[in-house]
Amino acid sequence: MKLKDKNVLVTGAAGFIGSNLTDKLLEIGAEVIGLDNLFNGRIENLEEALKNKNFQFHKGDIRDINFLLDILKDIDIVFHEAAFTSVPQSVKMPESCNDVNVNGTLNLLNAARKKDVEKIIFASSSSVYGDTPTLPKKEDMPRLPISPYGVSKLACEAYMQAFHQVYGLKTLSLRYFNVFGPRQKDSPYSGVIAIWLGRIINNEDLIIFGDGEQSRDFTYIKDVVQANLMAAEYDVSGEILNVGAGSPITLNDLAKLILNLTDKKNLKLIYTDPRPGDILHSYADISKAKKIIGFQPEYDQEQGLRDYFIWYCKKYNVNLKIN
Ligand code: UD1
């Protein structure tokens, strides 16, 4: 499906991933409706989009079926990015996580089916794999999530598959691996890179949960946006695809890399207890996404970090030397 002139809905449009995706969709000529309840999302993320005549924003919740039924009329394709996104917060509030992620997604699927939406692309997560020892993670490996968040994303994937099987709705789940980049905010429940950048700017030491030997496959936002476009444009459905950089790094090495890049080698790493619900290693095998939708990440971690930091300093007028 070519996205130009298509009617597209982005849920979670004011969030980090949703807003980046929205901007790209508008750039390629889609008509975009953005939906967000603004709990985590920020309207400032849609500053550019709101100037575009092909964009409409609606404040509302994916758990509200009447709202969805209204919004979904005439929509061809949905990018479902709205979510409860934090692993540690899901450990504190498993019911809220389930309510937003599972009930909200089921609601969206039901509304999409009733309104004859053609395709839904779902933002799943590498957390569905849990702590199984085999690396890299392949899509057909056992999924044994260890956090309520991971369980919720796995349930949504299963609903995506079921709606494809039973109702013929085209669905596709993309398992994101630790996405980072512009608009990721620095809050206690944000991703580690955004948190560390905030601390570096304030000249604070970096906190590491555990021994720092856990690893993540940090993926730059632009590559994730690209994967979504390809997932929409290729005639493929009923699939689950890893979307990662395919190059893991330990938290210790990431900290060193970031301190070098920002010229803050004076800051220390402070080690504290591991975080409950955390998996140890996460590393994507991206061969299936390459084969099926032609996905090829363009950013390595260093290049992505540099671009993100430069964007951040410009946006918030921060004086930080980037090497
Ligand atoms: C992240 C995403 C999640 C996504 C998943 C896979 C966020 C908030 N979470 O989860 O939505 O589904 O990737 O794509 O973006 N850490 C520290 N110090 C800190 C903060 C974190 O050592 O100050 C460690 C954590 O203990 C963890 C690692 O950094 O081991 C990554 O944590 P985090 O950035 O929160 O991401 P995930 O939990 O992997």
Q: Could you tell me which of 202, 308, 297, 290 has the C-alpha nearest to residue 254?
A: 308
**Residue given tokens 């009733």 in the structure block:** 114
Q: Which residue is closest in CA terms to ligand 1's atom 38?
A: 87
Ligand 1 site, residue 126, Cβ cutoff 6 A? yes
What CATH code is carried by the domain that includes residue 194? 3.90.25.10
Q: Which residue is closest in CA terms to ligand 1's atom 15?
A: 191
Q: Are residues 237 and 275 in the same domain?
A: no
Domain count, the chain: 2
Q: Are residues 128 and 275 in the same domain?
A: no
Ligand 1 site, residue 125, Cβ cutoff 6 A? yes
Specify whether the CB–CB gap between 283 and 217 falls below 8 A: yes
Residue 188 has a pLDDT of: 85
Q: Are residues 62 and 201 in the same domain?
A: no
Q: Are residues 124 and 255 in the same domain?
A: no
Q: Are residues 149 and 19 in the same domain?
A: yes
Domain residues for the domain of 96 are: 7-179+218-243
Q: Is residue 64 in some structural domain?
A: yes
Residue type, 304: G
Residue 277 has a pLDDT of: 86
Q: Is residue 44 in some structural domain?
A: yes
Ligand 1 site, residue 137, Cβ cutoff 6 A? no
Other C-beta atoms closer than 10 Å to the C-beta of 146 total 19
Q: Is residue 290 in some structural domain?
A: no
Q: Is residue 78 in some structural domain?
A: yes
Q: Which of 149, 159, 176, 299 is catalytic?
A: 149
Q: Is residue 85 in some structural domain?
A: yes
- If you measure from the C-alpha of residue 23 to the centroid of ligand 1, how many angstroms do you get, rounded to a whole number? 25
Q: Are residues 136 and 208 in the same domain?
A: no
Residue type, 52: N
Q: Could you tell me which of 128, 117, 123, 126 has the C-alpha nearest to residue 105?
A: 123
Residue type, 211: D
Residue type, 56: Q
Site to probe by mutation for ligand 1, drawn from 80, 154, 192 as the one with most ligand atoms within 8 Å of Cβ, is: 192
Specify whether the CB–CB gap between 78 and 160 falls below 8 A: no
Q: Are residues 161 and 125 in the same domain?
A: yes
Give the three-state DSSP class for 177.
Answer: coil
Query: 149 catalytic, yes or no?
Result: yes
Q: Using CA atoms, how far apart are residues 153 and 61, in angstroms rounded to an integer?
A: 18
Q: Are residues 119 and 165 in the same domain?
A: yes
Encode the chain (323 residues) as per-residue pLDDT tens digits.
Answer: 889 989 999 999 999 999 999 999 999 999 999 999 999 999 999 999 999 999 999 999 999 999 999 999 999 999 999 999 999 999 999 999 999 999 999 999 999 999 999 999 999 999 999 999 899 999 999 999 999 999 999 999 999 999 999 999 999 999 999 999 999 988 888 999 999 999 999 999 999 999 999 999 999 999 999 999 999 999 999 999 999 999 999 999 999 999 999 999 999 999 999 999 899 999 999 999 999 999 999 999 999 999 999 999 999 999 999 98
Give the three-state DSSP class for 165.
Answer: helix
What CATH code is carried by the domain that includes residue 151? 3.40.50.720
- If you measure from the C-alpha of residue 287 to the centroid of ligand 1, how many angstroms do you get, rounded to a whole number? 24
**DSSP string covering 104-115:** HHHHHHHHHHHT
Ligand 1 site, residue 45, Cβ cutoff 6 A? no
Ligand 1 site, residue 275, Cβ cutoff 6 A? yes
Q: Using CA atoms, how far apart are residues 257 and 263, in angstroms rounded to an integer?
A: 10
Q: Are residues 202 and 172 in the same domain?
A: no
Other C-beta atoms closer than 10 Å to the C-beta of 73 total 12
Q: Are residues 232 and 128 in the same domain?
A: yes
Q: Is residue 289 in some structural domain?
A: no
Specify whether the CB–CB gap between 212 and 269 falls below 8 A: yes
Q: Are residues 83 and 14 in the same domain?
A: yes
Q: Is residue 166 in some structural domain?
A: yes
pTM of the model: 0.98
Q: Is residue 51 in some structural domain?
A: yes
Q: Are residues 23 and 49 in the same domain?
A: yes
Ligand 1 site, residue 215, Cβ cutoff 6 A? no
Strands 219-220 and 119-125: unpaired
- If you measure from the C-alpha of residue 67 to the centroid of ligand 1, how many angstroms do you get, rounded to a whole number? 32
